[in-house]
């Protein structure tokens, strides 16, 4: 089983506009799908992926409910595993986490750059504690975001400081702990109780350095992710094959670890 742990899509009525805005901001000239659910499924099927984890992000408090309604609706789509999101400025963030859990959502995506917080701010701790209480998975965007200027809102060092607040509930550091930040990943996250995903790593990390981190961290805590539509799943799958893993480790990274984490 192959599970892409890091993908994005949008409701049909806003997909084209959302993709165009993100494309212009990031400078990525060729998205690999059109932003809709169906176009993600087409890409997924063509690249041999069995399940895609769709990461939804509430970029302001007012859209939190609609973003999560969309996430909940995706539970009915075969091959899609949706994550929800909460915004730190929403008065309903804690109760919204309860609603997500009650509706069978397995995790949440937090993007400190898009949502305007630093990962180790005190105001975030009640949210992290609630996530831990509910046993949800948390996936953080880590490191630089190519569409946003500095400062980096989620460094590996800052993320490492707050991991204990989740009480053992799973935390995933996207982009191998941070795009263009592998030395920090190696120093602050390798060996910690955190998963690393490979999203958008094709073209941004070298297999040799990635393998050094995996040897320190453990292949059982690495998750295949593409960041589709910004990379194609096949690209990051090919990158993983360059890591020099054993056949068993590669199988775990491509899907076995995610299957265990998601309870599939």
Distance of CA 143 to the CA centre of its chain: 12
At residue 148, the pLDDT reads 73
Residue 29 pLDDT greater than 70, yes or no: no
Residue 56 pLDDT greater than 90, yes or no: yes
Pull the structure tokens for residue 258.
């995610």
Reported as a pLDDT band with limits 50, 70 and 90, residue 69 is very high
As a whole number, the mean pLDDT across the chain is 94
Pull the structure tokens for residue 217.
């961290």
Q: What is the pLDDT of residues 144-175, one digit of tens each?
A: 887 777 799 999 999 999 999 999 999 999 99
Q: What is the pLDDT of residues 238-252, one digit of tens each?
A: 999 999 999 999 999
Strand partners, 80: 52
Reported as a pLDDT band with limits 50, 70 and 90, residue 25 is low
Q: What is the pLDDT of residues 207-256, one digit of tens each?
A: 888 999 999 999 999 999 999 999 999 999 999 999 999 999 999 999 99
Strand partners, 82: 54
């Amino acid at each position: 089983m192959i599970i892409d742990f890091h993908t994005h899509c949008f409701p049909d009525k806003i997909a084209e506009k959302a993709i165009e805005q993100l494309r212009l901001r990031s400078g990525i000239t060729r998205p690999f799908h059109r932003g809709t659910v169906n176009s993600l499924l087409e890409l997924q099927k063509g690249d041999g992926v069995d399940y895609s984890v769709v990461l939804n992000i509430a970029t302001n408090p007012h859209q939190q409910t609609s973003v999560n309604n969309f996430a909940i609706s995706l539970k009915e789509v075969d091959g899609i595993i949706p994550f929800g999101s909460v915004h730190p400025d929403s008065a309903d963030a804690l109760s919204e986490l309860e609603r997500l859990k009650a509706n069978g959502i397995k995790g949440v995506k937090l993007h400190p750059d898009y949502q305007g917080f630093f990962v180790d701010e005190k105001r975030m701790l009640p949210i992290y504690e609630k996530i831990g209480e509910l046993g949800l998975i948390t996936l953080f965007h880590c490191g630089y975001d190519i569409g946003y200027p500095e400062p980096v809102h989620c460094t590996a060092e800052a993320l490492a400081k707050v991991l204990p607040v989740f009480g053992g509930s799973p935390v995933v550091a996207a982009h191998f702990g941070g795009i263009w930040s592998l030395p920090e990943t190696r120093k602050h996250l390798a060996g910690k109780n955190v998963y690393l995903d490979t999203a958008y790593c094709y073209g941004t990390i070298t297999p040799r350095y990635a393998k050094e981190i995996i040897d320190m961290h453990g292949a059982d805590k690495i998750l295949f992710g593409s960041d589709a539509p910004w990379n194609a799943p096949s690209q990051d799958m090919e990158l993983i094959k360059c890591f020099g893993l054993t056949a068993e480790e590669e199988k775990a990274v491509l899907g076995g670890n995610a299957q265990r984490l998601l309870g599939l």
